[in-house]
Amino acid sequence: MSRECNLRISTPDDSRKTNDTTIRCDTFDFGTTRTVSIIRGKKDPVHAGLEEFWRGVISPRNRYSRGFGYRFNHVVMIKTCPVVLSREGIRYQLNGKSYSLATICSALARLTYKSCFENNPEVLLSSLYSTLSLPENVRYCLENRAPYHFIHKYEKVEVRLNVVQIDDNMLAMEISDGVWGEMTPKQLDTFCNYYHLGKSRGSWKKLGPKYLFAKLLGRRPTISEEKVMKAFLMQNRTQDMVEERALQLVKDLCEQHNGRIHAVYDDEGVLQTMYVRGRGYDWKLTNNKYKSGIQMVSTYIWQPNKDETEDIDCPTWEGTEVEDGTIYLNNDIWEKKYWRGPICIDNVANNSPLGDQFAGRALALLNDLITVKMVSTIKGYMIHDANKYRIEGNEINLRRMSKPKQ
């Protein structure tokens, strides 16, 4: 039954390219080729797609997947790294140790993706055990702070709390100014399941500030401690922190790429427009105030409306003045060069802040000759070859763009 399966992992773009690896099992047939698609809207679409693939293989609940079934014990080779997967009753095991299904799927997802670029079995196995040492939720909290929300004046307030690892099996969370509470990785994992993933399981859910204080410190806060804690939480609201960090990223990009990226702000300091000088073309990004989610920023390219190499007769009509840079054709005015668009470019992840969407597109368009090969919707707006039409002078001179307010 042993047959090597070529696993193709889709890349998060329009190039239709894949990163490939192999999986093999002597006691289970994966087939010859399987494709893993990304899951749009997730924070890591590739990782989420791999997690879903392994969940379909391991969990018996998906009746339509080619999975292992209710009881199994298989040795699976992921490229050159062997892993033992088994299920007895309701318990799942990886290499002889029990873990939750989510932890196993996340660990296998990371191992599978790493195997696309690594062949050494020692490196792959070390990477697997490093991933298993902390649950995925705990890693997320250490890297991005722990998400938490509570109700204040009948409104939901979302905040982020600092988390640090203080021991091999202990973490600390800052819930007030200078006040830290201890949690085990398992407790933080359960906490994050509710406040990050929305799963209503365990005892770490629907905790108001004073109940969170009591659960971490073993006593209820005094009135003054509760007031200080709420003030601290209000200062760490998620949206405020994310927007501030995103706008700082934009300012840093403008300084780092001075002369190639310039931002324009309105009187209230809100980012409205960004001009980008790519390697082959000039671009304009604008604040799309009427959309949210994956298209908060509109993209335009500086190109002619019609191919100027065409031999077009330009008649002169009585009372009509022929302006420079304009072609008159059938009583219609065709501008030779202008901002073409908006070009449909979606963010893979939902709810990215405005500053991040500006910055992400700007970085991609700095290397536009590569980006156009990955984003298929851009090509239809390109009339001429690279560097044939560039912005010169007037109101769109990149070196005269408004600087952000200090």
Question: What does the pLDDT read at residue 320?
Answer: 32
Residue 402: is its pLDDT beyond 70?
A: no
Quick one: 86 and 22 in the same domain? yes
**Per-residue pLDDT tens for 39-88?**
877 778 899 999 999 999 998 776 545 678 888 999 999 999 999 999 98
Same domain, residue pair 37 and 91: yes
Residue-wise pLDDT for 305-316, tens only, equals 655 444 434 333
Residues 161 and 223 in one domain: yes
Residue 12's φ and ψ, nearest 5 degrees, are -80, 60
pLDDT tens for residues 116-133? 999 999 999 999 998 888
Say how many C-beta atoms besides its own lie within 10 A of residue 403's C-beta. 12
Place of tokens 């109101």: 395
CB of 111 within 8 A of CB of 128?
yes
Last residue of a domain, one of 205, 236, 267: 236
Which range has the worst mean pLDDT, 21-35, 156-170, 379-393? 379-393
Whether residue 142 has pLDDT greater than 70 = yes
Please tell me which residue, 315 or 259, carries the higher pLDDT value. Answer: 259
CB atoms under 10 Å from CB of 163, counted, come to: 22
Domain assignment of residue 360, yes or no: yes
Domain endpoint, select from 236, 263, 290: 236
**pLDDT class of 251 with cuts at 50, 70, 90:** confident
Mutual orientation of helices 101-114 and 121-132 as an angle, nearest 10°?
Answer: 150
406 domain residue, yes or no: no
For residue range 157-196, what is the model confidence (pLDDT) as tens digits?
889 999 998 887 899 999 998 899 999 999 999 999 999 8
Query: Is the same domain home to 69 and 186?
Result: no
Residue 33 has pLDDT above 90, yes or no: yes
For the stretch 31-36, contacts whose Cβ atoms lie closer than 8 Å and that sit 24 or more positions apart, written own/partner, are 31/3, 31/5, 31/66, 32/3, 32/5, 32/6, 33/5, 33/6, 33/8, 34/5, 34/6, 34/7, 34/8, 35/7, 35/8, 35/9, 35/10, 36/7, 36/8, 36/9, 36/10
Q: What is the pLDDT of residues 331-348, one digit of tens each?
A: 334 445 578 888 887 766
pLDDT of 354 strictly over 80: no
Structure token pair of residue 262: 């310039």
Three-state SS for 308?
coil
Check whether residue 12 and residue 60 sit in a common domain.
yes
Element (H, E) at 161: strand 155-161
Tell me, what's the pLDDT at 292?
59
**Count of domains for the chain:** 3
Share of the chain above pLDDT 70, in %: 83
Instruction: Specify whether 361 is located in the same domain as 340.
Output: yes
Pairing of strands 282-287, 332-335: unpaired
Domain limits for position 77: 5-133
Statement to judge: residues 246 and 394 lie in one domain: yes
pLDDT higher than threshold 50 for residue 302: yes
Q: What is the pLDDT of residue 128?
A: 92
